[in-house]
Structure 1
Amino acid sequence: MTSKGGTVLFLEHEASRTGASIFLLRLLDWLKTDTSFNFRVLAGRWGELLPEFQSLGIADTFEPEPNFVYRVLRRLKLNNRQQSEHLDALRQKLGRSDIRLIYANSVASARMLDFLSFLQCPVICHVHELDGAIQILGSQYIHVLEKHKPHYIAVSRAVAENLTKKYLIPANRVRVIHGFVPVSEFCRAESDLQESVRREIGIAPDAKIICGCGSIEHRKGTDIFVKVADEVIRRSGAFPVHFVWIGGAREDIETMCKRLVRLGLADRIHFVGSKSNVASYFEAADIFLLTSREDPFPLVMLEAALHETPIICFDQTGGAPEFLQDDSGFVVPKFNIEKMSDKVMELLASPHLCKQMGAAGRRKVISRHDLTVGAREIAAVIGERLELEG
């Protein structure tokens, strides 16, 4: 795939180690290798992934470098001059860059669009947010976007429906391209690594593991995860089943561990924090429990499915049911704790069903949700917009 000339400016909200930022890194790496598009990045803030964006090409920031002096001035609200000088220099730099298209990687990135209006070029917005996240940002972000009449890429049909029904965006400006992951990077973990997971947690080799993953917050349904675990543990009696949650800030983990001690569940529910060997946990898990109240199209679901782990989610969570359908796990109605517990028990009682559903999920990720599949679709959208403007 070739470029018609000009540069695509990718807007990244904060270059932090979050799903949308990691997604964009993977996409840009593919674009750099497999297309001739010229691109550069503008990050809203200095984040820990900024050096990785800079390794792929030119990457600027909307805010000045947060050195000690600037942080003090910002805290005192005396940073206007520094911010203004920084934006003036950025405007001149971008004005010389022959930018033909702006690609906002999230609704959150829209805060930079008014500043960039001098570029007078079309906008694509890749929407990774459902309405709860948009409302937290502020619905004015959608209004800012709509001033530019962008074409939207939605990561799931649930996201597309929210845009067209809640914000009345014309359907002909919304296209669904489901999330994707680089399949080749997710190798199956060796059995000794799986055993090390059990040793690390301190559970028996024959114990069953139900896994959850994400930040510890209301949106991710961490409280639901604990309630389902409590119900399953009560119903399973002496059967060795353990619930493991990966991720979360240190202070949140400490809070959850204290709560589990009070509930008498600290020996069966484990909050292990962020892990570099997440693949080993997914490989060791018998079931992946997606308890989110809202999740547009969780990439962690695809990663779990690559390890042939069947998934249970809720029907109102967002895009997950679009992936699971009826063969890769179970979709439970209306955040029903008892029914989710029923499905956990059903899978625990049937290793054959676990294997069958897990294998179906892996096949789907490989055939439909590999990086090369989704990135080609996005590259085609970019190419179409550049062709129209060329």
Structure 2
Amino acid sequence: MASLKALVGRSLRKVYHALPLSWAMRLKLKQLIFRGFAPVLSGTHAYRRWDQQVSDGSVAELAAIAATDDPAPLSVAAPAAPLRAKLALISHDANPHGAQYLALNLVRELQRMHQDVEVLMQNGGLLEPEFEAIAPLHRLYQMDQAELRAFAVRLREQGVQAVIANTTVPGLVIAPFREAGLRVVSLIHELPGIIAKYGLGQALLDLVDASDRVVISSEAVRKGVDGLVPPEALAGKLILRPQGLFTRSRYRGLDDLSEPRANLRRKLGVSEQAVVVLAVGFGDLRKGLDLLARAAAIAYRSEPNLHVVWVGNHEDEVKQDVDRMLEEAGIASRFHFVGLDFDTDDYYAGADVYALPSREDPFPSVVLESLSVGTPVVAFEGTGGGADLVADRAGLTVRAFDVDAYAQALLRICRDGELRARYARAGRDMVDTEYSFRRYAQDLLELCEVPAPRVSAIVPNYNYAHYLPHRLATLSAQTLPLTEILVLDDASSDDSVAVVQAHRGSYHPEPMIVRNERNSGSVFRQWLAGARRATGEFVWIAEADDEARPEMVESLVGALRADTSLVMAYCQSEAIDADGVVIAADYTGYTDDLSRDRWRSAYTATGAEEAIAGLAIKNTVPNVSAAVFRREALLRVLSEHEDEIVSYRVAGDWIVYLRLLALGRIHFEPRALNRHRRHTSSVTAALDLQRHYDEVVAAQALAARLYPLKEETSVAASNYAAHLREHFGLA
């Protein structure tokens, strides 16, 4: 019956979205569907959500709008779903391996994003105390079937709305959670070999059947799943999404890695000239411990300074066979088994090359860890997502299990400095741009039907090293978690880059540093560079010396989400001096000559309305840090009008706002959630006064061309220009 309900629900949803109806007619159709099919749909997630909307009055509000039978205006939207939810994550055990570390770090990341997460543990392990230290932990292995069913129902009653099943193993226990009405998002990492070895074929089928979405980490996993699960069972469920990098190396972003290189060689007790090959993981046949040992014996013949280090525990029988092999080759002292070591920064950053000798590996995190610090990787072709990731981009792959070719590939990277540097740059850039763990967590939230608005914070910086730590802290503290923080350093002459590098590990998400070798000549070029690089739907240009209240972004993005006609939303600003002392509680003193009421309450306006009210007279958005933009619109304006905008020194931001509001509306939040730092020797104060005046007049002229202004607005603009001319002593 549950599968029939799911089928009916999916079919009706497809029809509903396919019909060319107005917004109001869609609402009426939805009312008819849920009333007419209530007996069939009553157990589905969609029906429960509709029933909740009915009970809290949301549907009544929308029905009043729908009664007009007209499409809803762009400024009206259904109430936004809450940004915080209660979730549960199932981990098959707590042993210190890749999938379990992914689960542990996913719980941490979701909690940093203000989600309420509970951990359901199928079996124990060494990491169990770490899970229990950060989240409520429930030991499923201590429950019988009746207790498990009752527990699943209790979770649902307590408000848990979705379960994330990490790996295939939760397929053994997933049915009660689905029956309790919880949404299920499964993360399948295993390749066919592991599924066969542990007899997980039926667990895979059961997990897929119970899942609303099935997330796989690589094409290799997709092919494996396709061969084990009927296509119809996967229809509409399968999503390819590799996990991002969840570890943080203190050496990430550094070009000079002499410190970890020296540390690693000192730790191993080898010479500073030693060539070090690294492998990390559980040493067994699947991970290719024996294959690496054979390749090392071959490579040592032509590279006597070669040392191999294996970090992690091992399977005793495999280790014994490898020990005999190493003794026979005379390289036992060159192959270092260091055991489990949780501080791996020096290993990854200090090695010359990372060896991934696995026979089968879906998407090993160790590859991302290596590439993030510029260590190239060598792998066997066709063995999983790690090999696919590095091939011809950030390392070398060779024919599967050809240990001679593997040895030569290791040596090639170690000996060819230019090749190694090229792979290092490519690997770092790949991880920085494609493998964000924050974006991965946001993707999973959306699959759990928890909204995760994507906001990119762009931090243009030039010589503000002193302010950067606190500025980045205010970004990290936002109640709406940011998708990314992009620090765009415009060739600072102070130690800005070093300051960000030293502190980046303490912020969430971890800031990415984009450094210009030469100054761009205009902060607005940095705005454009940031908008191009950003991945979020919304962009916050957070100037490096300003500050923000924790709720600022959530407030402004809430307005943007509720009204798709908005292209920007901004708030009132508090003015502070160089030391953070409040100069003014707000900017109403600056706008009172335009209106004593307008900027004291919230409003939404068209571009023309905003221009008439003041933006055609002077720049009524005194600080860009107080605004959040819809990225697509901002990028369009910055791209299409780049030459015009960068020609301004003072009024470039004003030009951006005028151009932007020709594309959509603006919203104002009267609370002073932004803190604008004003320096006594600011750019504006130091500029040639004639140029300042000329730019104001040019911006007013642009406003007059873009918008149909009232006569009183034009007169006010002329009066303001005359006032400036007199104030600057240009009359």
- TM class, shorter-chain normalised? 0.7 to 0.9
- Other-structure match for 2:634: none
Say if 1:305 and 1:29 are closer, same or farther in 2 by CA, change over 3 A.
same
The superposition leaves residues 61-102 of structure 1 with CA deviations (integer Å, 9 ceiling, x where unpaired) of: 1122xxxxxxxxxxxxxxxxx846864763564353233322
Give the letter for the 2:209 counterpart.
K
* Alignment of 1:141 onto 2:206: no
CA distance in 2, matches of 1:13, 1:23: 12
Confirm or deny: 8 A CA contact 1:183 1:370 kept in the other structure. Answer: no
* Alignment of 1:241 onto 2:306: yes
- Other-structure match for 2:293: 226
- Other-structure match for 1:114: 175
SS in 2 for 1:365: helix
- Other-structure match for 1:23: 102
SS in 1 for 2:302: helix
Confirm or deny: 8 A CA contact 1:108 1:137 kept in the other structure. Answer: no
Choose which of 119, 122, 125 in structure 2 pairs with 1:47.
125
Give the letter for the 2:348 counterpart.
F
**RMSD between superposed Cα atoms in Å:** 2.7
Say if 1:351 and 1:4 are closer, same or farther in 2 by CA, change over 3 A.
closer
* Alignment of 1:211 onto 2:278: yes
CA distance in 1, matches of 2:402, 2:285: 16
CA distance in 1, matches of 2:427, 2:217: 18
CA distance in 2, matches of 1:267, 1:54: 40
CA distance in 2, matches of 1:86, 1:2: 32
Confirm or deny: 8 A CA contact 1:156 1:179 kept in the other structure. Answer: no
Say if 1:95 and 1:259 are closer, same or farther in 2 by CA, change over 3 A.
same
The superposition leaves residues 240-266 of structure 1 with CA deviations (integer Å, 9 ceiling, x where unpaired) of: 111221112484696244542243211
- Other-structure match for 2:192: 131
Bigger mean CA offset, 338-347 vs 5-14: 5-14
Confirm or deny: 8 A CA contact 1:215 1:249 kept in the other structure. Answer: yes
Say if 1:145 and 1:213 are closer, same or farther in 2 by CA, change over 3 A.
same
CA distance in 2, matches of 1:29, 1:2: 23
Say if 1:211 and 1:375 are closer, same or farther in 2 by CA, change over 3 A.
same
Bigger mean CA offset, 240-249 vs 5-14: 5-14
Say if 1:147 and 1:250 are closer, same or farther in 2 by CA, change over 3 A.
closer
Give the letter for the 2:106 counterpart.
L
Give the TM-score normalised by the residue count of structure 2. Answer: 0.47
SS in 2 for 1:147: helix
Matched-pair identity in %: 24
Say if 1:11 and 1:306 are closer, same or farther in 2 by CA, change over 3 A.
same
How far 1:291 moved relative to its partner?
Answer: 0.3
- Other-structure match for 1:346: 412
- Other-structure match for 1:75: none
How far 1:201 moved relative to its partner?
Answer: 2.1
- Other-structure match for 1:285: 351
CA distance in 2, matches of 1:241, 1:167: 45
* Alignment of 1:57 onto 2:120: no
Q: How does 1:1-390 map to 2 (within 5 A)?
A: 3=82, 7-35=86-114, 37-64=115-142, 83=144, 87=148, 90=151, 93-94=154-155, 96-138=157-199, 139-169=201-231, 170=234, 172-182=236-246, 184-188=248-252, 191-236=258-303, 239-249=304-314, 251=316, 255=320, 256-383=322-449
Give the letter for the 1:132 counterpart.
G
Say if 1:40 and 1:155 are closer, same or farther in 2 by CA, change over 3 A.
same
How far 1:328 moved relative to its partner?
Answer: 0.3
Say if 1:88 and 1:30 are closer, same or farther in 2 by CA, change over 3 A.
closer
Q: Which runs of 5+ in 2 are unaligned?
A: 1-79, 453-731
Confirm or deny: 8 A CA contact 1:132 1:294 kept in the other structure. Answer: yes
The structure with the larger Rg is 2
CA distance in 2, matches of 1:268, 1:324: 26
The superposition leaves residues 289-326 of structure 1 with CA deviations (integer Å, 9 ceiling, x where unpaired) of: 10001100000111111221111111111001332142
Confirm or deny: 8 A CA contact 1:154 1:178 kept in the other structure. Answer: yes
CA distance in 2, matches of 1:357, 1:18: 27
Confirm or deny: 8 A CA contact 2:82 2:450 kept in the other structure. Answer: no
Say if 1:146 and 1:367 are closer, same or farther in 2 by CA, change over 3 A.
closer
The superposition leaves residues 122-170 of structure 1 with CA deviations (integer Å, 9 ceiling, x where unpaired) of: 3211011111111123211112224325411001121122222432343
Confirm or deny: 8 A CA contact 1:63 1:86 kept in the other structure. Answer: no
SS in 2 for 1:383: coil
- Other-structure match for 2:458: none
How far 1:175 moved relative to its partner?
Answer: 0.5
SS in 2 for 1:178: coil
Say if 1:298 and 1:137 are closer, same or farther in 2 by CA, change over 3 A.
same
Give the TM-score normalised by the residue count of structure 1. Answer: 0.85
CA distance in 1, matches of 2:161, 2:279: 42
- Other-structure match for 2:44: none
Bigger mean CA offset, 277-286 vs 38-47: 38-47
CA distance in 2, matches of 1:248, 1:83: 32
The structure whose RCO (Cα within 8 Å, separation 6+) is larger is 1
CA distance in 1, matches of 2:271, 2:84: 59
